[in-house]
Amino acid sequence: MTQLVLHNYDLDDACYRVRLVASCCDLPVELRNVDMFPGMEQVSPPYLKLNPLGRLPILETADVTLRHTGAILLYLAGLDPQKRLLPTEASALAQMMDWLFFAERDLSVASTARAISIMDVPGDGPATIAQTRALLRIMEDHMSAQEIKGLSFFAGEEITLADLALFPAFALSRDCNIDHDAFPALRLWARRVRATPGFVVMPGIPDYH
């Protein structure tokens, strides 16, 4: 088994996505904790050498260094011998990718809104919160339709990488004062995600135990 090293910050939602997927795929990951806040260690010279973008997470193996969350998630899901988070059928795989790109690209504003709220990052708080809410509404509309079709998850009947990539933005939305009141379909979906074998939490996401 390839040794996987995750440069990690526990409060960062993108790092959490990586820990969550690794755990659900039963893949052991060695954590190197980085002082992202307030230390800004991710932009220190040794870290800029690993990732000139100055961001976490970074996944290192003997062969590759990956620095985009989506790429890391796809790599981990592919390493899983059971490939349990990757649909095999082309259309289901495409839908998974569609939502994975949504999570990585569009929904990055949710991470920004949260960072402004809790990590003192500069930016337009109210605007990013409004954008986040509009994106959660798109997710709510989709899951309302999925339920009517008898489908429990974003890309079909089974949980995929897309669900785990989307979950943190919803589960952590209260960090920037977006309640779950107006998202009943997402509440039921989040409950199903929580029931996935290997599911783990992060600070800000209660484990209810």
Partner 1 sequence: MSETGWVPIALSRFIAPGTSAGTAVHGAEIVVWRDTGGKAHAWEDRCPHRGMKMSFGFVRGDHIACLYHGWEYDETGTCRYIPAHPDLEVPPSICVTRYAVTEAGGMIWTALPLGDMPEVEPNAPDMDGLRSLYIDAPLDAVLAGVKTVASEVSQTGALITATLGEAPLTLGLQTIDADHSALHITLPSDTPTATRLSLLDQFATLRRNVESPLKEAAQ
Instruction: Kindly state the smallest distance separating residue 194's Cβ from partner 1, in Å.
Output: 11
Instruction: Kindly state the smallest distance separating residue 186's Cβ from partner 1, in Å.
Output: 10
Instruction: Closer to partner 1 by CB, 59 or 159: give it.
Output: 159
Instruction: Kindly state the smallest distance separating residue 100's Cβ from partner 1, in Å.
Output: 23
Instruction: Closer to partner 1 by CB, 49 or 191: give it.
Output: 191
Helices (H), the chain: 13-24, 45-50, 69-79, 90-101, 108-118, 125-148, 161-171, 184-194
How many CA atoms are closer than 13 Å to the CA of 194, on its beta-carbon side? 15
Instruction: Closer to partner 1 by CB, 105 or 192: give it.
Output: 192
Residue 149: phi and psi, rounded to 5, are -80, 0
Instruction: Closer to partner 1 by CB, 45 or 206: give it.
Output: 206
Cα separation, 180 vs 83, whole angstroms: 31
Instruction: Closer to partner 1 by CB, 60 or 175: give it.
Output: 175
The secondary structure of 150-207 as a DSSP string is T--BTTBSS--HHHHHHHHHHHTGGGGT--STT-HHHHHHHHHHHTSTT----TTS--
Instruction: Kindly state the smallest distance separating residue 84's Cβ from partner 1, in Å.
Output: 24
Structure tokens at 92: 């289901």
Instruction: Kindly state the smallest distance separating residue 180's Cβ from partner 1, in Å.
Output: 7
Name the nearest CA neighbour of 171 among 194, 196, 205.
205
Judged by the rule CB under 8 A, the positions of this chain that interact with partner 1 are: 141, 144-145, 148-149, 174, 179-182, 184-185, 187-188, 191, 206, 208
